[in-house]
Amino acid sequence: MTLTAAQYGTGAGVLAKITGKYALTVSGALASAAAGLQANAAVTSFTIVDSAADVSAALVSLAADTKLSSITLTDAGMTLTAAQYDANAGVLTKITGKYAVTVSGALASAAAGLQANAAVASFTILDSAADVSAALASLAADTKLSSIAFTGGGMPALTLTAAQYTAGAGVLARVAEKYTLTVSAVLASSAAGLQANAAVTSFTIQDSAADVSAALASLAADTKLSSIALTGTGTPMLVLTAAQYNADVAVLGRITGKYALTVSGVLASSAAGFQANAVVTSFAVLDSSTSVANNIAALNGDSKLSSISLTDSNPLPITSVQLTGDPIALSKLPTAYTLSVSGVTVSATTTVQANTHVTSFAVSDTAANVTAALTSLKADSKLSALTVSGTASGDTLVLTGLKAAAAINLNGDTASATAGLAAPSLAFIGTPDAITLGTGTGTIDYTLQPASGIETIANFQYGLDQLNIALNGAANSVLQAYNTSYNGQKAIALASSADPTHGVVLTNVSSGMTAGLLSNHLTFSGGHALIT
């Protein structure tokens, strides 16, 4: 016997009068009537026609109704918890026609099944941060996933790889509560985005040495960056400027594992630090010629130094000792480098003159050596300056024909004048220092005291040469100038009024120049009398 639910309800009294066995099939029952139909021994099967809400409410009891053959929903939508969805899968298969299920609180592991179920319109996830992290890649393809919430107390913490973070960006946007992210193996180019993401508490970088080098400046500001691992075979090599190295020391300290540094643009004064740094395999100096010269001895011993470049075009100013003692450092200069060498002895001038890198050199030697080599010195086109020192006895220095500027200090002999330097014709006790100036600028030092003896200076030219007389603490007024003669020639004597037997004699001068010297060529400065 086949009845509708309405017939079954109105004919209950009639059905009670039937004797003997019979079978009933009831259609279109409400979900609330299912239990009674299931209990009725005469009913062999029944169908339900009811609202989605009523069917949802009765799902647990309907699961036990073995006589239920099908369910037809009078509306399209059904909202279930994940527990209801899982427990009543058999009941749901009995629903005929199109319908839509919204499932809440599903585990991440159930997402694929919900996504594949055509009846499921949308679902939410409620699971641990660890399980969501593990399933992030697959969740990215779940278009029906509407939101994610986490179980457990405190702030949920997700630990992701960069690949998971990138692939699951859309999924993370569906998280409905605050959470934190730790991201590993990030490319250097992605660091800024992670630093700016409020959910990210820390991240690590895994990238090539070249890419990390290029991003160092920005990485220095990334407070969430915890460590850097460099990829590639062998020992990764970072190529940096000294400015990058100095600005990004903190970032370099976060690199784990072995790596090497090549640094360019290093100041000469900083070279020792790079030489001592075990990570640095090579460095190049870029500095002024003066700074390189000041540090060239140290640079000569720096085995990691690859090259030296100068920031100016001036010749590199070095001493003769540096020229011979620091060949390794000099070999690191550009091919066309030039040198200005000081402190060259007379015996070394031939070698220095022949050096193609030397553009000028200054000789520093005794009066005897300079005089003995004067002919060759005149021929040295690169000779720019001459510093001459004397001995305790009288020295003779003849610079006739020499065009190079000369600085002369022959103080030390003990000669004196018998009748004082004001005598009409000078006669000396002992041998005075005898200086004959050349055509180049001459600067002569003399100290106004008996121990300095007497110096005679020939060819002194006002406006070209300079006589620097140290007054040795005496007042300016003690310096006196006298008209005198020496070897029958006009001369001017300069001495202390307290010690008229020692001083300087300018020989071969015209008469009447004494007054002009004092008024036009003599100045006092810092305890010195300067005649120019």
What digits encode the pLDDT tens for the residues 393-449?
889 999 998 999 999 998 878 899 998 998 889 999 999 999 999 999 999 999 998
Flag whether 471 is in a domain.
no
Flag whether 45 is in a domain.
yes
At which residue do the structure tokens 């990691």 appear? 304
Flag whether 295 is in a domain.
no
Smallest CA-to-CA distance from 309 within 282, 334, 329, 330 is with 334
Dist. CA 209–CA 192, nearest whole Å: 18
Flag whether 197 is in a domain.
no
Bridge partners (DSSP) listed for residue 79: 102
Flag whether 214 is in a domain.
no
β-strands 305-310, 316-319 pairing: unpaired
- For 196-228, write each residue's pLDDT tens digit: 999 999 999 999 999 999 999 899 999 999 999
Flag whether 65 is in a domain.
yes
Instruction: Give, in order, the Cα–Cα distances in Å from 178 to each of 151, 152, 156, 174.
Output: 12, 13, 7, 11
Which residues make Cβ contacts (< 8 Å) with residue 531, sequence separation at least 6? Answer: 462, 466, 467, 469, 494, 517, 521, 522
Flag whether 91 is in a domain.
no
Phi-psi region of 87 (alpha: psi -120 to 50; beta: other; left: phi over 0): alpha
Flag whether 37 is in a domain.
yes
Mean of the per-residue pLDDT values of the chain:
93
Which residues make Cβ contacts (< 8 Å) with residue 83, sequence separation at least 6? Answer: 105
- pLDDT score for 377: 95
Is 80 exceeded by the pLDDT of residue 513? Answer: no
Beta strands (DSSP E) in 329-431 are 339-344, 358-366, 383-389, 396-398, 405-409, 416-417, 428-429
Is 80 exceeded by the pLDDT of residue 514? Answer: no
pTM of the entire predicted model: 0.67
- Which range marks the domain in which residue 44 is found? 1-77
pLDDT-based confidence at 511, cuts 50/70/90? low
**Domains in the chain, number:** 1
